[in-house]
Amino acid sequence: MTSTVVSFNTPFVIFLGDIGSETYAKTGLGLVEWRRDQCIGQVRLPGAGVDAGVRDLTVAEARARGARSLIIGSAAVGGGIPANWIPSLRAAAEAGIDIVAGLHIRLGTVLGLADAATRGGARLVDVRVPPVDLPVGTGRKRRGLRVLTVGTDCACGKKYTALALDRELRRRGVASDFRATGQTGIMIAGRGIPIDAVVSDFVTGAAETLSPDNDAAHWDVIEGQGAILHPGYLQVTVGLLVGSQPDAFVLCHDPLREHLTGWPSFPVPSLSEVIERTVATGRLTNPRICCVGVSLNTSKIAAADRGVFINQAAAETGLPCVDPLVEGVGPLVDRLLAEFSA
């Protein structure tokens, strides 16, 4: 991985502040779910109403236990840093612990934090800020195998599905890396590129940088962004697709959604339309690209009705179809490995 990819050190502690609701702590809870092995504990302030289920630590205790990063895992209303959080962040930075955040504001603008980091030799890592030295996409074929998650819309399970595919591949002893393209994914992975924040000219190059040459049998599982038939974001999706040059992709879909979320005059396209466009576009840099399955979000469907939706998607595509939270992604990985066995 080159220096153009955002990265931070592990192990880490999660900072939850005094946040009252789990809704505002999604990043911290996701980190515990997906990277518990690298999580030493949580730092909370008096009045905190969320518990991530890991050991409570002070900043001094976190340092003593070897924490190398403190990740701000909750969002305050307004997106900034409340004044009562700042002393803890300064103390961590002065203790040499990197501060990591995915806020709209930059950490360097938080009062006194940059000075504290200088004194402590800590870094301030804004995972929403893309690297500045990205190349233009070359289209050159890279070694190794790649699978990308795509969607019929935004926010329909692309990150979760990619993380689950990576975990299942590793569980089977297959070499795999999760490649993060959004802020929460980057925090979970500890590295990645916030692809939608990259200057347009460099999106394909950013995607190439994110999944570099690798061993012939190694899988990169790449977190998708946007949707290829989305009137606002398709350019992000297309650049990520062509730069990633995936061999395979998994299509994520929420079967209850009728219109693109936030774009009520655009219906959600069919599974077939998205597969067809993804293959047609991805073929430019990888002629063998194919869909290996469908990941359905059935969380809002009654248990008795789930099977109907799963069977319908399987029938429409002729591919394995699962809800990763219910069945897991085993059938998708079976298909992936069957299609691309040496």
Nearest residue to 178 via CA among 194, 160, 205: 160
CB of 319 to its own copies, least distance (A): 23
Is residue 79 within the footprint of its own copies (CB under 8 A)?
no
**Whether 40 contacts 66, CB under 8 Å:** yes
268 vs 274: CA distance, rounded Å:
10
Query: What are φ and ψ of residue 263, in 5° steps?
Result: -125, 70
- Which residues does 133 contact at the CB level (< 8 Å), separation at least 6? 3, 4
CB of 197 to its own copies, least distance (A): 6
CB of 195 to its own copies, least distance (A): 7
CB of 58 to its own copies, least distance (A): 38
Give residues 240-269 in contact with its own copies (rule: CB under 8 A): 242, 263, 265-266
Nearer to its own copies, 111 or 280 (CB): 280
Which residue from 95, 97, 238, 292 is in contact with its own copies, where contact means CB under 8 A?
238
| Binding flags for its own copies, 268-307, as an x/- string (CB under 8 A) | ---------x--xx--xx----------------------
CB of 295 to its own copies, least distance (A): 23
DSSP annotation of 163: H
Which residue from 233, 314, 325, 331 is in contact with its own copies, where contact means CB under 8 A?
233
Strands 248-253 and 145-151: parallel
Binding region for its own copies (CB under 8 A) out of 183-191, 238-246, 290-298, 318-326: 238-246
User: What CA–CA distances, in Å, run from 20 to 45, 50, 77, 198, 284?
Assistant: 11, 6, 11, 33, 48
Binding region for its own copies (CB under 8 A) out of 94-102, 214-222, 230-238, 327-335: 230-238
| HEC per residue, 273-333 | HHHHHHHHHHCCCCCCCEEEEEEECCCCCCHHHHHHHHHHHHHHHCCCEECCCCCCCHHHH
Nearer to its own copies, 94 or 208 (CB): 208
CB of 140 to its own copies, least distance (A): 8
**Whether 97 contacts 122, CB under 8 Å:** yes
CB of 90 to its own copies, least distance (A): 29
Which residue from 52, 75, 113, 236 is in contact with its own copies, where contact means CB under 8 A?
236
Which residue from 47, 139, 267, 307 is in contact with its own copies, where contact means CB under 8 A?
139
Asked if omega into 11 is within 30° of 0 (cis), the reply is yes
Strands 263-267 and 259-260: antiparallel
**Whether 150 contacts 290, CB under 8 Å:** no
Nearer to its own copies, 161 or 244 (CB): 244
CB of 135 to its own copies, least distance (A): 9
Decide: helix, strand or coil at residue 164.
helix
Positions in the binding site for its own copies (CB under 8 A): 136-140, 195-201, 203-205, 229, 231-236, 238-239, 242, 263, 265-266, 277, 280-281, 284-285
